[in-house]
Chains A and B, each alone.
Chain A
């Protein structure tokens, strides 16, 4: 016998609602892990990626020997971790003779694998080896710039996919308002050949120029490496369609008091406030009486109301007199 687990506390309910599918989604979290064997380079790369994405990344330290992203059975562990940590991106590092310094960058849809790109890391230079003014260090969480150079990113399928994945991985939260003083760093990716991309991370220095727009200066800070594309897996067409589906921009506004009927079409409801029929004064024009009497009544009433008004005015003027004195 099973039953659905419902949260018992409000805190648990809020946590669950945070993880539930939404129209406007949370920023994607990244899961960083490695396989049975890693090299120093792979370890350094994983560590640097983790440091860059500190707030929304989870790093696992254990070896995972049963994760093989490109094999059909080797994905279950990954999907389980993704479910538990609510991560939609992952970086899986490994090292073997056939594939040295290997990184598998992947994305998930509904916690199942969406697409994968396998790259090899060559000529890795870590952040420590770059000498730069420490004041320029980019802050964690600042929105980065992206510069993609090369026609390969448009023509070659794998490079197109890599461009998308890198964008997803490093862009952070999608924000509406940006503070121009907080522009810190830029990721520069150059397609050197149809299979290699030169990837580097630079800090931005804004210099005074004559115009309103400051002059940009790039200073290499972060890790720089050559990414050699090895294998890749594109998403299924149906899954891709599902993932790129978007609702219309404005949420459906509920129009109150309007409903539609099959027979009658569009029906509206009007609520009339209480008319208070008992307290409405009757009209002076009493149509039952003969003309002279009617007019006499009318004029009498008019006199009375006129006197009342005069009385009111008098009292007002009396008050004024008193005030005057």
Chain B
């Protein structure tokens, strides 16, 4: 009987039987399942034998073994990255010969510590060499940043942008106007909109629950009055009144009469009454007999 030597990868808890082959495919599913489980049991037992042979440390949950590295090489998820080396917080400053911090106040390679900067023939008199150094450093940093951005853009164009880098637009694209940019709503705008949405409810936003910090609405309540569905006793039909009012208004609009007859008659009558009253007053106040007497007879209307 030959020894069944299985390939066991303990790091993945995997066992592989490379020697097995089906001479005849079993007839039924149950047969196949049974056979597979049998072979599986053998394999798992072999893995367990190797696993329990490892030195185990006792823990409160159970024995813990240290698994070896997996032997089957599976492909990586992402490419290998370059590890960043960290600089220590303190470094030895060559200029002063002391230990100083790498960044910040009292740092190494600071321009302040340079005692003498020798002038070259190309330098003009009256130029500040330290200022010039500062400007040059700024330019270098800008150039570096620009190059970095350009490189990433090229990579994005080629489709190889690293997954942890994203771009943000800082200005308008070439086509498009300011109106196309999505604007962030201000606080007042949002409050107004919330108020408008509240008035869309049946009760006009009066009973809406407010979030903590939300100000009360300015124009609550309904602005329209509707007739009651069921009229009470003793009220003349409100609906009839409403419709009559609307009809009158419409008719008045469409009629071409400038003169309101009723109003004209009333005005005339009032004027007459006033005139008569005035004459009566005058008669009373003037006692002279020489005044021509007014006839007491009313002028007949028959003309």
**Which residues on A are within 8 Å of B, measured CB to CB?**
1-5, 16-17, 19-23, 25-26, 28, 83, 86, 88, 107-111, 114, 123, 143-154, 163-164, 167-168, 171, 174-183, 186, 188, 190, 192-193, 198, 200, 202, 204, 212-218, 220, 224, 235, 240, 242-247, 251-252, 254, 269, 271
Contacts and interface: CB of A to CB of B under 8 A. Distances in A.
B67 A145 contact: no
B79 A1 contact: no
B65 A164 contact: no
A2 B166 CA distance: 10
Given A148-B16, A182-B61, 17 more contacts: A1-B170, A2-B169, A4-B149, A16-B164, A20-B162, A21-B80, A25-B76, A109-B76, A109-B79, A110-B78, A145-B13, A167-B14, A188-B37, A192-B22, A193-B25, A213-B48, A245-B79
B65 A21 contact: no
27 contacts: A2-B168, A4-B149, A16-B164, A17-B164, A19-B163, A21-B78, A21-B162, A28-B77, A145-B14, A148-B17, A149-B17, A151-B19, A163-B16, A168-B74, A171-B13, A174-B70, A178-B51, A180-B51, A180-B62, A181-B62, A181-B63, A183-B48, A213-B48, A218-B37, A220-B37, A243-B76, A247-B80
Nearest to B171: A1
A180 B149 CA distance: 51
Contact of B33 (A145, A154, A213, A220): A220
B44 interface: yes
Interface residues of B, number: 68
Contacts of A23: 80-81, 83
A270 B65 CA distance: 44
B48 A240 contact: no
A245 B76 contact: yes
B73 A244 contact: yes
A215 B59 CA distance: 22
A5 B166 contact: yes
A108 B77 contact: yes
Contacts of A175: 67
Interface string B16-47: 11111110010001001101110111011101
A146 B167 contact: no
Contacts of A154: 16, 18
A204 B36 CA distance: 15
Contacts of A202: 37, 40
B67 A176 contact: yes
B39 A20 contact: no
Nearest to A209: B45
Given A110-B78, A114-B75, A167-B74, A271 B92 contact: yes
Contact of B44 (A26, A109, A147, A151): A147
B72 interface: yes
A252 B62 CA distance: 35
B47 to A, nearest CB: 6
A164 B74 contact: yes
B64 interface: yes
Nearest to A2: B167
A174 B35 CA distance: 30
B15 interface: yes
B62 A145 contact: no
Contacts of A150: 17, 20-22
